[in-house]
Structure 1
């Protein structure tokens, strides 16, 4: 049996270790996957923030450029039809020409098929939109198109001399992160401290890609954020692991309890076999002697007394077992009115023993219950106190009193006492305190189990304590009617 339990324990240990390892591996891979997604989101958010900031910047530049083209005091725009190439030619001319560089330029719009012989509001708007879109496209490439010297100089000044504000980049980056569910503080171009995540570097130069001005974001409190994202996964893994450990512990406890019960059962069967075999052998030998030999009347009477005595022992044994079994299968009737002090006096008087038994009954209580079972339960406690005493001057004390509306019955002896590790177990069926192969007192392990069942049926409790300075004290508490 022990080998089987050890094998089961080893297999369950391997299973629990395997489940724990799988849960740890699953949690780790989930964390790694979540971190990769987090890093990808941070980098994509930075790209989005920079692109959004550049879009705003180009919108401001092209808006200013549009206002210059629409300002007649700055730029004069004319139009004419060129019959040779059959397209409208627009001329953009500075009102106040620069001393250097070109002050005017002629151009056409490739996909414009409509003929204009002179400038009109509609044709001017077409030209302005075309030039603004060209400027926007060139700014994306890091260039400034010089249509005229003044337009080019002015465009260069507003496009390159005023860098993108970091405050705008921070605002756009925060918005991009929040869109991805990331609510964490960050700094630009901060030093890595091992606890923050540093994104890839992004070029924010207005002349990119020809010039470089790198920007990098450092996002802090990353581990706490990831743990928050994975809290339900981790909680589920921990809960599953705890349930597995509990099942392992509970199963192991059941196996050990079963082994213990088997040992108790075997001990009980051995005791019962001995207890039954002894009177049966005496009865068989006595009956055989009566049958084979002629005895005088006195001898016959002695033999018959032996048979009756051994039969009485067998009946007492079977009655004790059957009574305990009946309590398991049926509910006890509590219809008797019991005068507690009188019952205790009678039990003490009926106990045949050289041990001194003193009764201090001061409760004057009447209890509604089952007199037969309660009488027998208390008698069992007194019999145990008498049976197991090893004192030179053995004494058993019985006391009754009322305390806090409950009846207290105390049965104390000055015997060897019961070790603490057995105080709970002695109330279990078939349990006997281990004493090797030596049994100075006969017993089946049913007495105290029966006592507890009776007291519990009366909605009471029984407690085993040490009787100072030596011995045991059984304290019964019963609710009064």
Structure 2
């Protein structure tokens, strides 16, 4: 896959992911807003109900304070004077300050229930004058006088009832009957009403409430921090809204845990949304990482094929030339030439075999069932053997390998073949990647139950960018001006794999043009 196609694909996937995340967040925000609006409506309705009930209770208390005589008047005024009734031979008397009226009715017992007799008596005193009247009416002679009397009595009742209600209202708003808010408001009653209305509205979260006057002064004691919260985060409703004389007071309620309560009430929705969003993000991220990984593997594969082709081409060409030379009778008859070419073919054949062996082994050391043939080894003896075998190469370049064996407990339980190959690769790399006179130091030190082996050189070094990748399979660091260093990028990958199989650790410290230091820590045998 071409680089441009991969970049375009990553951009498209990223844009789609951002779009989905944005839509999900927008939906969550709208859901929270709707829940907040619903909460606001519920709280406002609760405050309205509390204010309304407080006013009704106060009104009833005023009405109950009216005298028994006024109550009797009110009840009397609510009864009709003339009309159909289920009773027979009914006598009703109505009293007022200036008049006494008595109505006597008699009705038939048949289904028509006609009035057969009716009389009205009145006695009134108005100032110095007084008068009495009595009317007897015949049920069989209902003329206009009957209707006039009926209407007159009805209007009298209506006027008296209206006057009685007016008196009641006047008493309620007399200055001596208007009390301060602290006397009018019962805190226990207010608390009980609030709790009950909140429960009915389905609001079950801690709350604080208070009453404030027109200037924002609280009726009940408050701390300073609470006052600030009431001023900014509370819900408010006017108390006693029908008051036309008193300055208004407001009931305020504040919910300290409102946000957590709303989020908790949306727990299932929010949790499912977050899980889905994280799942989508993880899927897209995994897809992008897989694409990048495949791209990286494709580059490594191409580099490996190129390196392997180059590495195999040299020995094959050498063998081909040697075989062609031996086919010449003059060269084949010369024993020294023949021996030289045969040895060349043999060496190159070994080289090819070793290359193939390394490639095959690279597929084995990553497997979990890769087995080591452990035995007790002296790490100093292993290192000394390797140094002796490579010292000639260093001497040819005019350099040296310095030994600093400081560890006392040098016994390790390890696979001799792989441990030897491990340190051979490290010291061989130190020689190959040094342009100037090689100065290599092999140092050991003991620390509790492990031994640390460091291989230092003064070579070309490794940049920080490449230090993270040098242990990857098939990865090769660009060598700059060094063109004779050959390999497949398997050496350091093999080193790390063997160290980890022995329960050890490997680290690298390096600076460009100053050299590198590889440190290996292996557990010692007690």
Pairwise TM-score range, normalised by the shorter structure: 0.7 to 0.9
1:204 maps to which residue? Answer: 241
Q: Is the 8 A contact 1:160 1:206 kept in 2?
A: no
User: 1:285 & 1:107 partners in 2: Cα distance?
Assistant: 151
* Contact 1:203-1:213 within 8 A present in 2 as well: no
- Which residue in the other structure is 1:137 paired with? none
Retained in 2: the 8 A contact 1:413–1:473? yes
Does the CA contact (< 8 Å) of 2:461 and 2:513 recur in 1? no
Which of 355, 367, 375 is equivalent to 1:336? 375
* Deviating more after overlay: 462-471 vs 186-195: 186-195
Alignment partner of 1:408: what SS? strand
Residue-by-residue CA offset, 1:278-328 (whole Å, 9 max, x unaligned): 211221232233235442222211211111111011011112222222212
The alignment's C-alpha RMSD in Å is 4.3
Q: Distance in 2 between matches of 1:438 and 1:412?
A: 19
Q: How does 1:3-18 map to 2 (within 5 A)?
A: 3-18=4-19
Specify whether residues 419 and 469 from structure 1 end up closer, same or farther in structure 2 by C-alpha distance, changes over 3 A only.
Answer: closer
The match for 1:448 is 492
Larger deviation: 61-70 or 465-474? Answer: 61-70
Once the 2 structures are TM-superposed, how far is the Cα of residue 250 of structure 1 from its aligned partner?
A: 4.3
Normalising by structure 1, we get a TM-score of 0.75
- The aligned residue for residue 24 of structure 2 is 23
CA contact (8 A) 2:51 2:237 kept: no
Distance 1:65 1:267, change over 3 A: same
Provide closer, same or farther for how the CA distance between residues 146 and 429 of structure 1 changes in structure 2, counting only shifts above 3 A: farther
Corresponding residue for residue 133 of structure 2: none
Moved more, 33-42 or 238-247: 238-247
Question: Secondary structure of the equivalent of 1:57?
Answer: helix
My pick for the range that moved more, 287-296 or 450-459, is: 287-296
User: In structure 2, which of residues 258, 268, 271 is the aligned counterpart of residue 225 of structure 1?
Assistant: 258
Say whether residues 1:463 and 2:507 are aligned partners.
yes
Q: Which moved more, 1:404-413 or 1:235-244?
A: 235-244
| Aligned equivalents of 1:29, 1:107: Cα separation in 2 | 73
2:197 to 161, 165, 176: 176
Query: Deviations 1:347-397 (Å, cap 9, x if unpaired)?
Result: 111124124112222334111111110011011001000111112x21111
Larger radius of gyration: 2
> Within 1, Cα distance between the matches of 2:287 and 2:278?
14
Instruction: Report the CA distance between 1:451 and its aligned residue.
Output: 0.5
> Does residue 311 of structure 1 match 2:349?
yes
Residues in 1 aligned to 2:102 and 2:161: alpha-carbon distance in whole angstroms: 6
SS of 1:205's equivalent in the other structure is: coil
Count of matched residue positions in the alignment of Structure 1 and Structure 2 = 433
- The residue that corresponds to 1:298 in the other structure is 336
Structure 2 residue corresponding to 1:156, chosen from 153, 169, 183: 169
Alignment of 1:39-188 (within 5 A): 39-61=40-62, 63-64=64-65, 86-87=87-88, 88-91=90-93, 93=95, 97=97, 147=161, 155-156=168-169, 159-161=172-174, 162=177, 165-167=184-186, 170-171=190-191, 172-173=193-194, 175-177=196-198, 179-180=200-201, 181=203, 183=207, 185=209, 187=211
Cα distance in 2 for partners of 1:188, 1:103 equals 52
Q: Unpaired segments of 5 or more residues in structure 1?
A: 114-143
TM-score by length of 2: 0.70
Contact 2:44 2:235 in 1 (8 A): no
- 2:324 is equivalent to residue 288 of structure 1: yes
Instruction: Check whether the contact 1:411–1:474 (CA below 8 A) recurs between aligned residues.
Output: yes
